[in-house]
A and B are shown apart, each in its own frame.
Chain A
Amino acid sequence: MTDRYTPPAEREQISIAPDFSAPDAQPAWRQDFPIDWPQDLYVERRDFLKFMILTSAAFTIGQVWIAAENWYRGRRGRPPVRRIAAIDDVPVGGSFAFTYPDEHEPCLLVRLTATEVVAFNQKCTHLACAVVPRPEQQSFHCPCHNGWFDIRSGAPTAGPPRRPLTRIVLERRGRDIYAVAVEERTI
């Protein structure tokens, strides 16, 4: 057969069979369709390197996204002062749902005692499920992944969340309660 594939003479291009025997000792199909294993391994590793560099680019894009969001957050400025409710509207141990600083941020006002009220953003700091108040356990509970937060400080006490709930800074003006600021915290 004169039209049979002949491996090139350069050693670098010679195919090595998995059993390391000589090319002439290989079955005809392998002689017809030889696989250059070292080249295969090289290309495989090189392609993996390329994929890792794409992953590196993705991480950098993530950082750019955070920086862009940070710039956007800086442009929004201070949140408005807004009346939430009158203290008499919320019974002791009860809660009141509202949105602050905009309609996309659900929050909860909880009246702990006759004079003490707290408010937090309702989004769990784990995966943003809505937390529910459990005043009898002095906690907020996230039912999605069983996360728990202290009802007074919003600090995580159990489950997957690592950051405290975003606190809404309140101000009493007579019988009315006003939201005046948003306080995000890492610890």
Chain B
Amino acid sequence: MKPLPGRRFSRDQRMTIVTGMLVFVLIVLVLQLWLLTATMHAWLGGDASIVWPGLLVSTACFALNLGLFLYLRRLERPRHDR
């Protein structure tokens, strides 16, 4: 399928991209959930050493996810708008 004028990828190609992103984001999300529960468990048990590294890693994961989504939005815009 040829892309529409002004677009870099066709809809089929974008569908593949969005599916790939979805799989990646879901894996990162599972990691974030584990991190949150592990941090909460340690902190409630009086161990605060993991709090700041946990926050740092979780923020990095969120930034990665957000970056992927912004990239997808950029792909959806016609080329002359970029």
Contact = CB atoms under 8 A, between A and B. Distances in A.
Interface of A: 10-12, 38-39, 41-42, 45-46, 48-50, 52-53, 55-57, 59-60, 62-64, 66-67, 69-70, 73-74, 125, 162-163, 183-187
Interface in B1-50: 1-2, 4, 10-12, 14-15, 18-19, 21-22, 25-26, 28-29, 32-33, 35-36, 39-48
B32 A163 contact: no
- Main SS class of interface, A: helix
A162 B59 contact: no
Q: Which 5 A-B pairs have the closest CB atoms?
A: A184-B46, A186-B45, A59-B32, A63-B58, A60-B62
Contacts of A125: 44
A55 B28 CA distance: 11
Contact of A46 (B1, B4, B18, B59): B18
A121 to B, nearest CB: 11
Contact of B1 (A12, A48, A184): A12
Interface string B53-77: 0110011011001100100100000
B44 A49 contact: no
Contacts of A52: 22, 25-26, 29, 65
Interface of B: 1-2, 4, 10-12, 14-15, 18-19, 21-22, 25-26, 28-29, 32-33, 35-36, 39-48, 51-52, 54-55, 58-59, 61-62, 65-66, 69, 72
B36 A59 contact: yes
B26 A53 contact: no
Contacts of A64: 55
A42 B18 CA distance: 8
Contact of B69 (A11, A12, A53, A162): A53
B48 A70 contact: yes
Most chain B beta-carbon contacts within 10 A, residue among A11, A41, A52, A59: A59
Contact of B15 (A10, A38, A48, A69): A38
A63 B69 contact: no
Given A12-B4, A49-B72, A183-B46, A163 B41 contact: yes
B77 to A, nearest CB: 14
Given A12-B10, A39-B11, A70-B48, A59 B33 contact: yes
A59 B58 contact: yes
